[in-house]
A and B are shown apart, each in its own frame.
Chain A
Amino acid sequence: MPGRNDRVEEVVHISGVRSAEPDLQELLVHVARGDQDAFTQVYDQVSGPVLGLVRSILRDPAQSEEVAQEVLVEVWRTAPRFQPSRGSAMNWVLTLAHHRAVDRVRSAEAASAREHKAALLDRTPDFDQVSEQVETRLEREQVRRCLRTLSELQRESVTLAYYRGLTYREVGELLSVPLGTIKTRLRDGLIRLRDCLGVNA
């Protein structure tokens, strides 16, 4: 029941990541006017998150770099279309990266055989990479902690969809759970994460 699932068990507010956001937003305004120096600064802020996300979905390092490059060039190309009212700049960039990576993984899978079920279930997100940035470590810790507040099915559904790029139908088949249940778990799982992470949009 959504009511029960919405209950916030842990609310943690760490502002580390968001403190960089106004900057990024401002920089994108300059990028939109063709400012290449501003883009260099944008690159330095977003390239790590973009590559990390793409790699978590595609796995293959060479292909991940290729897609990350496409995404970062797309940030330059479409910066004039960025709308702050839609959400933060980082959100925009990561949504772009997620879409590109998922498109790639889905078209690749149409050509080649689908990965083995056990292998998909086995792969947990790559949380343990070394990063020198304190902000990133805090963010990772907070997300990991909040993921633990989800039910097992919520967590599995959300991470398979997000980090593996599966459609909800594929998630349902993989977990042998009815599709209606998966849709609901994706939604109430994210709602619980949203509340735990203190996301405002």
Chain B
Amino acid sequence: MSTAELHTLTGAYALHALPDGERLEFERHLRVCEACAQEVRELSATAARLGLAVSAAAPPALRDRVLREITHVRQEPPQAGMRQRASSRAGRAGRWSSYALAACVAAAAALGGVAVWQHEVAQDARQEVSRAQQRSELVARVLSAPDATTAAAELAGGARGAVVVSHRVNRAVFVASDMARPPGGKVYQLWFDDHGTMRSAGLMNPKATDDAVLLDGPVDGASGMGITVEPSGGSERPTSQPVALMEFGQA
């Protein structure tokens, strides 16, 4: 199943309406998709409200049986270390907000061990998901825009990259072929070059190295774009030398 298809399963998952195979696949995806995890939290809470609405009065006999039974049922131990992990991630919440969607796409294996539910999340993750649906549309609009210009460049390792810019649409699309996968625990991060100041334009899916990627955010006055290798989840500013820098073509 494609990543875009997996995103639409948040509702079915929250309602426990996925057959086992698909549920397991979706849970694997949840571990690396913060925006999906946030949406699942909200939709599960919504489903619970449906449950509350059919509340019934429980008979006294049930109360007696349950209270008697628990006196000889051993409790499970808590899951050690979970809480600490949650708090240590809290400081990164702000950054996750802007990269939540990109991080979904960048299904970095290094994030696999992080318990999905433990993330502190930002309020705007929800909007990030609905924006995903507009992306493919925007890619098509940029590529077919009458004022679209293309600048190509050779990337490290013999890969080729091209950036297509439409100032009218005010968006840019990066197209790569044969890009090497980023090293373990790292992702490619895209940047707009605002005349020397790098402005983040999202992360690339490390598994899709032949894809058209819509750069996050408007082109505005940017004169070009760059790509750096960053730790999973991305960085606020480039922390390594760019693997590619491209000037935008002139219309």
Contacts of A98 in B (CB 8 A): 16, 47, 51
Among B17, B77, B130, which residue has its beta carbon within 8 angstroms of that of A167?
B17
Q: A24-60 CB contact bits vs B (8 Å, 1 = yes)?
A: 0000000010101001100100011111110110000
In residues 1-45 of chain B, which contact A (Cβ within 8 Å)? 8-12, 14-19, 38, 41-45
Indicate if the CB atoms of B48 and A47 lie closer than 8 Å: no
**Which of B15, B16, B56, B77 has a CB less than 8 Å from the CB of A48?**
B56
Given contacts A186-B17, A201-B41, contact A48 B58 (CB under 8 A): yes
Say whether B195 faces chain A, with CB atoms less than 8 Å apart.
no
The SS class assigned to the B binding surface is helix
**Would A171 and B53 be within 8 Å (CB), given that A76-B75, A183-B11 are in contact?**
no
The reply to whether A36 and B71 contact each other, CB–CB distance below 8 Å, is yes
Could you tell me if B42 and A199 are in contact, using CB atoms closer than 8 angstroms? yes
CB pair B57 A127 closer than 8 Å = no
Number of interface residues of B (CB under 8 A): 54
Q: Is B86 an interface residue (CB 8 A)?
A: yes
- Are A81 and B50 interface neighbours, CB within 8 A? no
| A187 partner, pick from B8, B45, B78, beta carbons under 8 A | B8
Residue-wise, chain B 66-84 has the 8 Å CB interface mask toward A (1 for contact) of 1101110111111100110
In contact, B62 and A47 (Cβ under 8 angstroms): yes
Q: How distant is A184 from chain B, measured CB to nearest CB, in Å?
A: 6
Inter-subunit contact A65/B82 (CB<8 Å): no
Leading 10 A-B pairs by shortest Cβ distance = A187-B11, A52-B56, A186-B11, A143-B53, A161-B17, A47-B58, A80-B78, A201-B41, A94-B51, A53-B51
27 contacts between A and B (CB under 8 A): A43-B66, A51-B56, A51-B57, A52-B51, A69-B65, A72-B66, A77-B75, A85-B117, A87-B45, A88-B48, A95-B47, A125-B53, A129-B57, A131-B55, A131-B57, A140-B55, A143-B52, A162-B51, A165-B16, A167-B18, A183-B9, A187-B12, A190-B43, A191-B43, A193-B49, A194-B43, A197-B49
Given contacts A77-B74, A88-B45, A131-B56, list 15 more A-B pairs with CB under 8 A: A36-B67, A52-B55, A69-B65, A69-B69, A73-B70, A76-B75, A77-B75, A85-B86, A88-B48, A95-B47, A162-B17, A162-B47, A186-B17, A189-B11, A190-B43
